[in-house]
Amino acid sequence: MALTIEQELLKAVSKRRNFAIISHPDAGKTTLTEKLLLYGGAIHEAGAVKARGEQRKVTSDWMEMEKQRGISITSTVLQFAYSNYQINLLDTPGHQDFSEDTYRTLAAADNAVMLIDAAKGLEPQTRKLFEVCKLRSLPIFTFVNKMDRPGREPLELLDEIEQELGLKTFAVNYPVGMGDYFKGVYSRRQKAYHLFDRVAHGKGEVPEIVIPHGDSTIENYLDGDLYEQTLEELELLEEVASDFDLEAIHAGKMTPVFFGSAMTNFGVRLFLDAFLEYALPPTPRNSTLGELEPTYPDFSGFVFKLQANMDARHRDRVAFVRVCTGKFEKDMSVNHARTGKTIRLSRPQKLFAQGRESIEEAYPGDVIGLNNPGMFAIGDTIYLGKKIEYDKIPSFSPELFAYLKNPNPSKFKQFQKGVQELQEEGAVQIMYSKDDFIRDPILAAVGQLQFEVVQHRLLNEYNVDSRLEPMPYGAARWVVDGWEALEKVGRLFNTMVVKDAFDRPVLLFKNDWNINQVKADHPDLRLSAIAL
Ligand code: G4P
């Protein structure tokens, strides 16, 4: 008997899990991604995603700038099947200058994996990205990596997460030893030790030995001291730690913690198995029709990222759409909420690392790539049936500001077009001075490289020169109650008033001290580091 559309959607949704990884550079995101793909059978030998040495220069980059610098600017979506599930890993750029992309990718994710280097604990980029996850109450899974190297005490790391992020922790597994003595983990779910054999650079899956708690054969594998110490720590953990609470995990209030070593594959499978059991399936999304369940029968989704020139041979622009409801089918004609136009989605793509393959259908939780040049801006909704618009994707306070000058007045039109398109694409935030006589756009970025990308692309894609004039500001705050509220407070000191791309008032400050001063002088003026 054929399934109804609701039944079909329910089945697809129950089998889908989607997540993004948040971490500080060098914690091992590329390595973990590779190992997840290895266990998911999407690649057969680790090293396929991150080509090493010479090969890396040849294969990994799509844009000239990336080649020159050996960094990865773009994010892609990796879909793989594992243990009866379809997993969508929303990859994010490794370089922190492009964290605006990561913020937006988190808007499309249903779960986050927080990757921590065992020797370093929480690092600045991880904390920043955690705040974005918290805003959306995303369930957060913690993977403490590099246990094969000397690191900090596991209990101390758990405590740091609890104290500094205000998240309860539940260690799903606990390490046996560390550094050269790292032997594996104790699974608190299975009440068993998983001991591993080391494999050089973890190219293949690692063999493991499973020994139930209380089985004396453990003594053949662990020396007495290490075993005793592990038992003691586990006892202590049982005493002080919170009980497992799946509801709290789903609400983003408790994080399941896993210890392992992505490089040697220790703990990767245990992590994947538990993740699939605890992670949220594609979640309902807020829209102008209220919260829409993924099983809502009409297709809808939103654009969370635009990317130009993925394929150097075609000057194209791919819109990444997170499917939220209904079923997507190739060649479908959909409505575009912002413009009211109808668009035929004729070349949809599934994205896997650098390769692209065409897709026939997609379900909620999936991400599709659309090639409709110029049609889309970040946050756009596409839909069938009743008109829907999803909540805007928030912008976060930029930290660098500069006037972008056009030294060539005859090229005014191309300059404007380039700036406008790069803003819609989300390459950078654009603001303007409140005074109409200063027409130069203000580029507002999280990292210096964003400026360079904008200038590089203006030159290469729009054939216009530009000049940057840095501004002495380090933070922006949106005025929550709009222009009227701002007028009421009168003159403000040590701040510049600008407007964003949507004509909303924004204040630029040199530093936090200036922000606090304005807040103290004008307690009624509501300021926000996030524009919703
Ligand atoms: P990123 O994407 O988060 O920036 O990190 P990436 O995976 O590139 O890893 C950063 C470095 O940490 C790499 O070393 C990588 O091999 C190492 N690494 C990742 N996971 C582990 C682990 O579990 N244990 C240990 N000991 N090291 C790990 P590299 O020297 O920078 O590069 P490579 O020559 O190994 O590629």
How far apart, in Å, are the Cα atoms of 527 and each of 78, 130, 475?
37, 21, 12
The answer to whether residue 246 scores a pLDDT higher than 50 is yes
Residues 77-96 have pLDDT tens digits of: 788 888 889 999 987 776 77
Euclidean distance between CA atoms 9 and 5, whole angstroms: 6
Residues 23-44 have pLDDT tens digits of: 999 999 988 988 888 887 766 5
Residue 94 confidence (pLDDT):
65
Residue 44 confidence (pLDDT):
56
Say if residue 91 carries a ligand binding annotation: yes
Residues 313-369 have pLDDT tens digits of: 455 677 889 999 999 998 899 999 999 999 988 766 655 434 455 677 899 999 888
In this prediction, residue 449 has a pLDDT band, given cuts at 50, 70 and 90, of confident
Euclidean distance between CA atoms 7 and 386, whole angstroms: 21
Residue 205 contacts residue 270 (beta carbons within 8 Å): no
What's the gap in Å between 146 CA and the centre of ligand 1? 8
Euclidean distance between CA atoms 207 and 229, whole angstroms: 25
Residue 199 confidence (pLDDT):
56
When the pLDDT of each residue in the chain is averaged and rounded to a whole number, the result is: 86
Give the pairing type, strands 140-145 and 111-117: parallel
Nearest CA to ligand 1 atom 19: 28
The answer to whether residue 54 scores a pLDDT higher than 60 is no
Residues framing ligand 1 (Cβ under 6 A): 23, 25-31, 52, 94, 145-146, 148-149, 261-263
Say if residue 29 carries a ligand binding annotation: yes
Residue 75 confidence (pLDDT):
45
What's the gap in Å between 450 CA and the centre of ligand 1? 25
**293 exposure class (CB count in 10 Å sphere: 0-12, 13-18, 19+):** middle
Residues 215-227 have pLDDT tens digits of: 989 888 888 899 9
Residue 287 confidence (pLDDT):
97
What's the gap in Å between 263 CA and the centre of ligand 1? 7
Residues 146-185 have pLDDT tens digits of: 999 999 999 999 999 999 999 999 999 999 999 999 999 9
Residue 100 confidence (pLDDT):
82
The answer to whether residue 200 scores a pLDDT higher than 80 is no
Residue 61 confidence (pLDDT):
33
Ligand 1 atom closest to residue 149's alpha carbon, by position in its atom list: 26
Residues 90-114 have pLDDT tens digits of: 877 767 777 788 888 999 999 999 9
Residue 201 confidence (pLDDT):
56
Least confident of 278-292, 310-324, 419-433, 448-462: 310-324
Residue 310 confidence (pLDDT):
53
Looking at the chain, the whole-number percentage of residues with pLDDT higher than 90 is 61
In this prediction, residue 475 has a pLDDT band, given cuts at 50, 70 and 90, of very high
Euclidean distance between CA atoms 524 and 210, whole angstroms: 61
Looking at this predicted complex, what is its ipTM? Answer: 0.98
In this prediction, residue 51 has a pLDDT band, given cuts at 50, 70 and 90, of very low
In this prediction, residue 434 has a pLDDT band, given cuts at 50, 70 and 90, of confident
| Higher local confidence (pLDDT), 290 or 424 | 290
Say if residue 26 carries a ligand binding annotation: yes
Measured torsion, CA atoms of residues 221, 225, 230, 233, in degrees rounded to the nearest 10:
180
Q: What is the mean pLDDT of residues 294-319?
A: 78
Nearest CA to ligand 1 atom 10: 26
The string of DSSP letters for 407-475 reads S-GGGHHHHHHHHHHHHHTTSSEEEEESSTT--SPEEEESSHHHHHHHHHHHHHHH----EEEE-S--E
